[in-house]
Chain A
């Protein structure tokens, strides 16, 4: 076997050498091209054509995720012992910059395709039938944490106020100028809760006082905190992060 290799390489040594040099040059050019592509990775992402392709794919992924979404597929629930302590704070600002909402004057405003637009005070909201869940919050950054939230089932609330559930979107406006929106199928999911308590305590400001929409079937940034108003619409409302390029559906 080894002997044969020797013979082959001696038999046509010179043409092979030339070929080999040619190919090495070719290879080197190929590698340089690869390096160039890698170096210009940032510029590549900024390119307009590439941008519209990526946005188109993100839109396509919205559709794929809506298709994959099971209206009755439940997020796993955990025992109390699995709760992450301390539960991480996360927002687009620092923890000492959290917006403080005054409970006394608070009213939840309802807009858009909703029959009864009467605003809701906190005592009225607290008086609604409450339910709890211990679920995993998954951040778009990758980390996850398990927490316990309590509140009213969002589908019950939407039915109570006469929301048009044939509409496409529910949008949210928050006290910290955050805003986001979700698809109606997710809004009606049995585990989507309008929550007022975290770990059996009234939501502290850092976790979204006076209320957070808890959606265990979506990434963390799709769970709005400090909600001041919500609206039902057929016009795509976007969101704070979504408008900057994060995927809109962001289901989990």
Chain B
């Protein structure tokens, strides 16, 4: 973009292609799963509220179920690629660890006070590490509680982990709520630090010098 500047700019690769591709496929899959899931929840709500139908996907229950059970393959296959890559390549260990409760507490507090520094995008602060690990954990809980609801007979061993069919429905909903909260926070943070967005597209950022 700005070649010929007097300050030499160092471009650093910080997001490998696998991470960028799986991030955006995941974003699409999550959007479909959450909005169609809200429509499915509305067919038989177990909390005293419904999700406004303008925010839901599918038009009616059958449509929402079609979306949900189509996008689940996208979510799971993409998730398997991402998690396998993260573990095998050492990406998780390098980027998301180490992590201590003390560091999370400190960085979340700093973030809330608007004082968390983001000068080096290649290093995640403790609040980010915690959030990204929590998203992965939410995803795993959502997939397994989802399997428990989808197949309470064929996969009854999984359903039993969640205290049965009705328990799995509650866990599935609560994991969704936590995931949506983290994703919304993530989007707010991207709006506050906008240069992180093109970085997730191109993989590159300028090194702070």
Measured CB to CB, the residues of A under 8 A from B are 1-2, 4-5, 8, 11-12, 15, 19-20, 23-24, 26-27, 30, 38, 41-42, 44-46, 53-55, 57-58, 61, 68-70, 73-76, 136, 138-144, 216-217, 241, 244-247, 251-252
Contacts and interface: CB of A to CB of B under 8 A. Distances in A.
B59 to A, nearest CB: 5
B66 A245 contact: yes
Contacts of B115: 2
A57 B152 contact: no
A57 B194 contact: no
Interface residues of B, number: 44
A20 B73 contact: no
Contacts of B62: 241, 244-246
Contacts of B156: 73, 75-76
Given A20-B195, A41-B57, A140-B61, A69 B44 contact: no
B44 A23 contact: no
Contacts, number: 112
Interface of B: 1-2, 5, 7, 35, 40-41, 43-44, 46, 55-59, 61-63, 65-67, 69-70, 73, 115, 117, 119, 150-156, 165-166, 169, 190-191, 194-195, 197-198, 208
Contacts of A55: 66
B152 A252 contact: yes
A224 B62 CA distance: 19
Q: Which of B5, B43, B55 has the largest count of A CB atoms less than 10 A from its CB?
A: B43
A57 B73 contact: yes
